[in-house]
Structure formats: structure tokens, C-alpha cells
Structure 1
Amino acid sequence: MLAAAMPPLLTPLLAEISAHDFEMAETLIGVARFVLIFVAARALAEVLVRLQLPTILGELLAGVIIGASGLHLLVPPDTHAQLSEGFVTLVSGLVSIPPDSVAEIYNESFPSLEAVAQLGLYALLFLVGLETELEELVAVGAQAFTVAVAGVVLPFALGTWGLMALFHVDAIPAIFAGASMTATSIGITASVFSELGYLKTREGQIVIGAAVLDDILGIVILAVVVSLASGGSLDIAPIVKLVAAAAVFVVAAIGLSRTAAPAFDWLIDKFKAPGEVLVASFVLLALSCFTATAIGLEAALGAFAAGLILSSSKHNHAIQQAVLPIVTLFATIFFVLVGAGMDLSVINPSDPSSGSALIVAGFLLVVAIIGKIAAGWAFVSKEKTRRLVVGLGMMPRGEVGLIFLGLGTSAQLLSPSLEAAILLMVIGTTFLAPVLLRLVIGGDKPDDGDKVDDEVAANPVGLL
């Protein structure tokens, strides 16, 4: 929360402000944002806990209330929403700088908050990997692969075809919109499953494995769509290379969980300074995220892989205890920012320009829900499995859907109505999934019959 150094290239507006005033304003804005995030998230989380709903829903709603759709106190620059005049006036009066400079400093410093939020996401996925039973994950690998493929193909095919046939959308925008529905937010799903006690169940392991594979398949589809949109010829070689790199990365993570964990334990036992478990774990987390990014994959996949590698460590419990406070703090920021970036003004029925967007959004939302739920029935298993839980677990698009939307917007592939429709689809699936999962699962805690049994785990089927 320390103020960052002044950027080397300042706009004329900021150049007139002294370094001291700049740092004061930046610090004040940063502290105010943290206070707003945690107070709003905690207040709504307390309400939703009493309603027996997942707390992540409260964090998302908190972001909506204080974000671009509500009070405009937490406004990501890429939403193009105006920061609250009251907030700007307050900061301007406290540090004696022009109001226009407050808004510019706010936007300049926002990436640092997003970086903290990304750390929260990576820590959450790292923790999910740590809590994953490798044998159980591998045992349901075939089912996870089938669910992932069905969960990508069904919404992609139905969405693309529907937009072209029913709404006469051009091929490239329709393909991109279909691709945006293939995503699954592993962060949201993992958080809900963990809170409901379903993370280590057969259903939880299938969904986590499928969500990881969804990310890989989504990246491949995105690469194809961007290549088509650029007008160039579709080069198969980079796509094959990406798929091969993803396969090698996943297999390597599984292999390292059996070989690298003992070496990690030996190293930790040699350290004497306090904090060695947390520091060493985050070094491995950073290296895994770096490796994933370097070969063209999402850093989030690297974070999950790092946790998977250490899942068999004898220090697993100590690592979880060390990482949990970081997840509690920083993952909250991540989910609040997801909610803050959602602009609900696009669903205003009284606005004539929203009419077409609402119709297309309704179609996309239905396809997005049906496509993922149907994936829960797309695998064969002799074990008792709650397939509706699997399908609902695959439903939230969350931050992954927003990333897809942002790429489409920046590439100017989408019309305003189609952009609004995709945003509504992302919002709808993100908010509905936690509620529906809670309703379907109810107050029942999973019993041993829901877990992957030892017999199956002893004869695992590979993930790929």
C-alpha cells in the first residue's frame, strides 16, 4: 500500500503537481480503495452467509454496488465510466490538487490494484491445487476431458450457429461470441466448491480438471478466431505447437508432483529463518506462472499447476495455513474487481438501444447455461456422480469471459449490441452459478460415497 514512484512520463496535467502532492493523492486513493473493497465485501458476505448463499456472491455484488454499475467509487479505467464526483471532490479537497488530476491519478494507479487482485487469483488457484488429491484428479481424468470438450463444443457451436442463422450476425463476430461462451471461471467455481465442501468430491475434481482443460481449449479457439479476424491465412503450426505445449505442461505438472515435492521438502527442512514455507512456495508459484506464460498459456494455469506439484508435500498443511490469509485478502479484491467491471446499464429495458442487446443476450444466456449443464451428462462413469452439480460447476464465465470480451472489443470485432449481449451472458452465468449450486447441493455435506474411491484411484486414467 506504499505509494508508487511517480511515472517517468507525466501528462501536462500531472506535471504541474509536486511529487509530494502526487504521492499523497495516490496513497489516499489507494487506501480508500482498499477500505471500500473490504468493508463492502465483508458486509455483503455476512448477509449472504446468513441467507446460506456463497460469500463469493457477496463479493461480486459488492463490486457491482461500488463499481461502474453503482456508486462509481471503484471504476476500472477500461469501463469508461466516470469516477464519482463526490469521491473526486473529497480527495481534491484533502490534498489540494485539481479534480481533473485526481481522476487521472486514479487511472494511473489502478494497474497496481489489478496486480494485487491477480496475486489473489493466483494464490486461490495455488491453494486449489494444494487441496487437490492427485490420484483422484487423475482417476477422473477421462471424465474431466469429456466434460471439457462437450462444455466447449456445445455452447460454441450452438452460439455461433444461432447468431448467424437467427440474428444474421456476420461470421467473425458470431464465431468470437461463440468462443466467449466456451470459458469456465476456475476461480469462481473452485471458491464455491471449496466453501460448500465439494472441492475434493468426484464432482469437484471433474469440474476442476475440466475447467483447466477448458482454459487450454479456449486459448486455442481464441488463437484461431484472432487469426481469422486479422484477415491473414490460418496457420496451423502455431496452434499445434500451443496444444502440444499445453499437453506437456499438464503432464509435467503431474509428474513433478511425484518427484519435485520430496526435493522441496528437503530444501524447506534445511531453512531456519521464519517464513521459509511461504516464501519458497511463492517462488515455485512465480516460476510456474512464468513458465505457463512463456509457452503461451494462462498464468492462472501455472498457479494451479504449482499447487498440484506441492500437493504431495509433507508440508502441505503448513503451506495451506500460510497461503490462506493471502487468499482471504487478495482473492476478495479480485472478485470485487470482477463485479466492479460489470456495467449493468446495458440491461435498461427503457432504453430503445438496449432492446436488441437484451434479445441476443437472452439467447446467449440460455445457450451458455444449457451448453455447460449438458456437459455434465457427457461422460460415462460407473460411480455415483451428481451430474447436475458438474454441469452447474462449469457454468460461470466470470473473469475469463470478461477477458474474452475485452479482446473482442479491443480488436473491434463486436458491434455495441453484441458486446452488450456477451457482457450480459457473462454477468448472468457468473451470478447464477453460485446460487444454483447452493440450491442444488443444499445443506448436505458430501459423504464418503461422493469421493473418488481407492479402487478407482489405484487404476487411474490419464488426464490427456
Structure 2
Amino acid sequence: MSFLLETCIILLAVLVAGRLSQRLGQPAVLGQLLVGVLFGPAVLGWLHPGPLISEVAEIGVVLLMFIAGLETQFEDIKRNALAATLVAVLGVALPFVGGWLLSSGWGFDSPTAIFTGVLLVATSVSISAQTLKELGYLRSRPGVTILAAAVLDDVLGIIVLSVVLGSLGASGGGGHGAEPLPLLLGKMAGFFAVAIVVGYTLLPAVMRRVARMESGLPLLTVAISVALAFAWAAEFTGLAGIIGSYLVGLMLSLTELREKIMHEVEHIAYAFFVPFFFANVGLSATFAGMAGSFLVFVIVLVLVAVATKIVGCGAGALLARFPLREATGVGVGMMARGEVGLIVATIGLDAGLLPPELYTGMVFVSLGTTLLTPPLLKMVFRARPGDQEQALPASE
């Protein structure tokens, strides 16, 4: 099928599926995520994973997190720094131990079992951010904590991945594990330092100058370019690209151009790029080889992936004095593995630590946790009168 026809199918299918999902009382993002499963190899076989769809999808998720950063207030992040740290630390420790013990008990060798624990550490909050945005909770205390904890989770996850690859004598792709840990930590620290300084001092002046031009298009062009550049810089230092785009969005949220930039970027992002991200999530799903005891293992692995994030991150939120409902919501918001989980799985496959069948299992863990996130978030954060309009409370 030509890319032009694939593009037409993806854009229209994601639009219709989102509206249908809302009519059924679910977040629009749930229906949009199912498009890839329905039209991909798992069911109809009309669409297939490919470099073009994947690359456009990557731009989509970068812009999605850029918008989430623009909608977040930096003061909210500061107020919830302790809560985010507790959520991130426990949200890494418990899934790692859970995945390790499950694989060991199922008979996998020690290196594979340890790496399975690493797989469950990953978190991708792009779907959670979109769902919280739909529900009106993106700027709530749980929403801000989820986004802040995701940044720390990614750093901790990369550290765990690097330590495991180094201790097992393996080397993954993308620079992970091939460098000494101190050098990797130095690069990440350098990225955050430079990104914050540039984003806080230089970038606002540049954007104001661009905004004074007669046409509004230069502002849109520069904003998207900046988001992509920061995403690339994050990937270069070993972090996920979405961390870079979220961070620059957060920096630009401090300027008076926040609303204008967000309005401009949302149009092109949701009209074209973001639908590719939603569709691409499900395109890797296939039921080949999913039978017998391995199918049971994958189901249990999905359940462990869900439970350890909800319990671990939820416990961190409880320690930060969140009410039980909000703490549960934080755990649910952190449980999706998404594209981050697949990236880590690919590194393990290339390093020889992950057998092909377990890689397939991780595809279903990534897909399953991602598909479960929107409906579970809606169950936890079901709108009550006044909930969505309450001011963000200060941390205890």
C-alpha cells in the first residue's frame, strides 16, 4: 500500500475511532490507540510497521510532550518535587524486582531474568498526558507529579539499564552500555544544565523576536524546530527524546508567548503528526507464537507490569500525603511502557540478553499497559463537580 493511502487511512481512522470512543464513554485516546491493532498485522493487515510511519510517529510524540510541557506550570513542578522523587524511585525499584523474580521463577536464565526487570522499569507518559488533558487533570497535583516523576524515572531507568548492561558484559544500541556510567551521567547532567540555561535565558528572547514578524508562521516553525532540536539533544545524551521536548515546553511555559505557541502547535500536531503516533503503537502487535505456557507467561508479565507500577508509584504518592484516590491515579498514570519499553527491549535483543520470543512478549506488555491506561485513568479520575477547576494545592 502506498504511503499516501496509508496516511489517508490513519488520519481518518484515528479521527473516527476517537469520536466513537468518546460516544462509548471512554477517552478518545483509547479508540485512537486501537486503530493500529485493528488495521495492523494483528487483525486486518491493511497497515504495516515501516520507517515512514515510525518517523512521522516519532515527531508526533515529540510534539505531544512539547504541548504537555507548555501546559505545565513550573511552580507546580517545584511544589511537587518531593512527591515526584518518591514516585519515581519506588516506581523503578518495585517493577525491576517484580520482573526479575517472575522471569527467574519461570525458568529463564539469570541475565535474561535481570533484563526482564529492566524492561518493566520503563515508563512512557505521553498517553497518560493526553488522557489527563482530555479529563481536565493535566494541571492537577497528580497530573503534575506524573509528568515530573516521568523525567526522573527516565534518568533512573537509563542508569539501571547502563549498570545492568555493563555488569553483564553486554553493549546495547544507541550508546547505552557502551560508555562508562560516570560519563553517561555527566552527559545527562550536562544536557539538563544546558537545556535549562538556554531555555530560560536565550530562547524566550529569540521567540519574542520571531513573534514580532508580520506572519504567525515563523513562530510555529521555530517552535517545532526547537522542540525537535531539544528532543535530539536528549537522545544524544542517552535520554528519551520526549524528555527534551517536554523540558523545552516547560521552559517556554514561563513566557507570555505560551498560549500563542501552544495554540499554533496544537493545530498541526493533532491534525497530522499525533495520529501517526497513536496508530504506530498498535502496529507492532502480532499474535504469532502466542500460545500455551508462553501465552500464560505474557499475561502474567502484563499483570506484574501493571501491578508493580500502580503499587510502587502509588506508594510513593501516599508517602507524599496524597489521598488514596489520587495516589492510585499517579500509579495508573505511570504504568504505560509505550515506545520507551520497546526501545529498551530492542537494546536487550541486540545485546543478546533478550530471546526473540520474550521480545514479542514485551511488545504485548508495552501495548497492554498503554491500552489499559486511558480507561483506568478515567475510572480513577472520574469527574466530580468542581474537581477540574480546583486550584492546585501546595505539597505537604
TM-score of the aligned structures, taking structure 1 as reference length: 0.77
1:39 pairs, out of 12, 19, 32, with: 12
CA distance in 1, matches of 2:235, 2:392: 33
* Segment of structure 1 superposing worse, 425-434 or 128-137: 425-434
Higher relative contact order (CA 8 A, sep 6+): 2
2:274 is equivalent to residue 331 of structure 1:
yes
Query: 1 CA distance for matches of 2:289 and 2:22?
Result: 29
Cα 1:159–1:382 change in 2 (3 A) is closer
CA contact (8 A) 2:329 2:381 kept: yes
Q: Structure 2: state its 5+ residue gaps.
A: none
- RMSD (Å), alpha carbons: 2.5
- From 264, 274, 278, the counterpart of 1:322: 264
Pick from 23, 31, 38 the counterpart of residue 58 of structure 1.
31
For 1:64-103, what aligned pairs fall within 5 Å after superposition?
A: 64-76=37-49
8 Å CA contact 1:40, 1:62 repeated in 2: yes
Q: Using the alignment, how far apart are the partners of 2:330 and 2:86 within structure 1?
A: 12
- Picking from 201, 215, 235, the partner of 2:140 is 201
In 1, Cα distance between equivalents of 2:180 and 2:46: 43
Q: Distance in 1 between matches of 2:204 and 2:56?
A: 31
Q: Where do residues 42-441 of structure 1 align in structure 2 (5 Å cutoff)? A: 42-76=15-49, 110-164=50-104, 166-231=105-170, 238-260=180-202, 262-328=204-270, 329-347=272-290, 354-374=291-311, 375-379=313-317, 380-382=319-321, 386-441=326-381
1:253–1:308 CA contact under 8 A, matched in 2: no
User: With structure 2 as the length reference, what TM-score do the two structures score?
Assistant: 0.90
How far the C-alpha of 1:437 sits from its partner, in A, is 0.9
SS of the equivalent of 1:344 reads: coil
In the alignment, which residue of structure 2 is the partner of 1:94? none
Moved more, 218-227 or 423-432: 218-227
Q: Please, which runs of 5 or more residues in structure 1 have no aligned partner?
A: 1-27, 77-109, 348-353, 460-464
Q: In structure 2, how many angstroms separate the alpha carbons of the residues matched to 1:418 and 1:283?
A: 37
Do the aligned partners of 1:120 and 1:326 also contact (CA within 8 Å) in 2? Answer: no
Identity among equivalent pairs (%): 33
Q: How many residues align?
A: 387
AA paired with 2:205? A
Moved more, 439-448 or 326-335: 439-448
Deviations 1:151-192 (A, max 9, x none): 11101012102211x112111111111111111112111111
Q: Quick one: distance in 2 between partners of 1:123 and 1:155?
A: 28
Q: Work out the CA distance in 1 between the residues paired with 2:89 and 2:337.
A: 16
Cα offset, 1:324, TM superposition: 0.4
Whole-angstrom distance in 2 between the partners of 1:267 and 1:250: 25
CA contact (8 A) 2:310 2:334 kept: yes
